[in-house]
Structure 1
């Protein structure tokens, strides 16, 4: 199955890396730096979702705090899949493609699926479940992160598409099913010293409004 996907996306890889080679130098430099720095954008979105959730119920706060958990879980699933599939990086395997912008990872640092894309997909899905309007920022950010991995030459298109899917599939149940238990824990921790400020800025407004994924809260 992976061989079929790789064959179908090799031409896409050649096209994207060829385009990258012809891009202005500043674009290539920005892509090389940004492919890792974009992950900081997801951290910023998670912080924003958490900050906003403090105005609402314990379950909403729990859902927001599960975003990083979902991202870590997606990374672990993706990394496990890599060790099973053992697909070589296209920057080595596609000999007639344009040279990659980023340094090609060492042999044994496998390509399928993309860990960066899996984390991006998980962060995006978790943020949308916790606050659906976050999708306006985080979904384009996830797509950009995934594309950047192909643009700099270290992944096939199918690596990042599957990575995004893996991240979303892992994150949604983590946040949806975990928000209830996490909310119970948040409610208990609100009585512990300074944790109340971290977990609820405006407690009176939370009554009857703790719904994961709300857009008007």
Structure 2
């Protein structure tokens, strides 16, 4: 591993040990719980899109699918590059804040960073107004993986690029087909399918329309 990357890893983990214990515990929790935050945002994005046009629904549903594809891509790369974790390989580094993953759980690229970036981009495509939140969360999650000592900086950098790229491509390539599926689902005879897809255009209330006709 490059000396520069190892030096940066040592600097970041040294900084982590110099921070207050409450902040260390916060980062330890966030490095895992951040994924649950993205999952919750996926649900909110889908719920909002149920009352939007079929394309919006398609993008909202494709966002978590793209994240799953990005994770698989990350795992395929990881299985072909046997890079030991820095908490085990970097000499002179301080002890990682969390348990160092066992030998065979390779370091490159960071699955967490890949998932975070993919989720952030997918959510930004489905719900543009939330990009100001999802992108910083993804970057912080990536940094947290180095902060707690389980990844090199280049692991998370590549993970971020991989996740963002895969998410963008999957959503863009499948949106047209997903839109057609959304239209079909909204016209389905199955109640559960129609509920998942949301009301069709004819079923949506007209904004500003009176609820009841005036009685004379």
Query: Counterpart in 1 of 2:129?
Result: 133
User: Could you tell which deviates more after superposition, 75-84 or 182-191?
Assistant: 182-191
Query: Counterpart in 2 of 1:198?
Result: 196
Deviation for aligned residue 1:51? 1.6
| Alpha-carbon displacement from aligned partner over 1:124-153 (angstroms, at most 9, x marks no partner) | 111112222221110011011101100000
Query: Counterpart in 2 of 1:160?
Result: 156
Contact persistence 1:54–1:201 (CA under 8 A): yes
> Rg: which structure is higher?
2
| Alpha-carbon displacement from aligned partner over 1:52-95 (angstroms, at most 9, x marks no partner) | 21221112101100111111111111111111111110001112
Contact persistence 1:125–1:172 (CA under 8 A): yes
Q: 1:126 to 1:149 in 2, by over 3 A?
A: same
Structure 1 residue 46 corresponds to structure 2 residue 14: no
Deviation for aligned residue 1:7? 3.3
Structure showing greater relative contact order (alpha-carbon pairs closer than 8 Å, 6 or more residues apart): 1
Q: CA RMSD, aligned part only?
A: 1.6
**Distance across 2 between alignment mates of 1:182 and 1:70:** 12
Matches within 5 A, 1:86-125: 86-125=82-121
Contact persistence 1:56–1:205 (CA under 8 A): no
**Distance across 2 between alignment mates of 1:98 and 1:71:** 33
SS in 2 for 1:32: helix
User: Could you tell which deviates more after superposition, 8-17 or 138-147?
Assistant: 8-17
**Distance across 1 between alignment mates of 2:42 and 2:102:** 31
**Distance across 1 between alignment mates of 2:83 and 2:3:** 12
**TM-score, structure 1 normalization:** 0.88
Deviation for aligned residue 1:186? 1.5
Q: 1:205 to 1:148 in 2, by over 3 A?
A: farther
SS in 2 for 1:194: helix
Contact persistence 1:49–1:134 (CA under 8 A): no
**Distance across 2 between alignment mates of 1:116 and 1:29:** 18
Shift >6 Å, 4+ stretches:
none
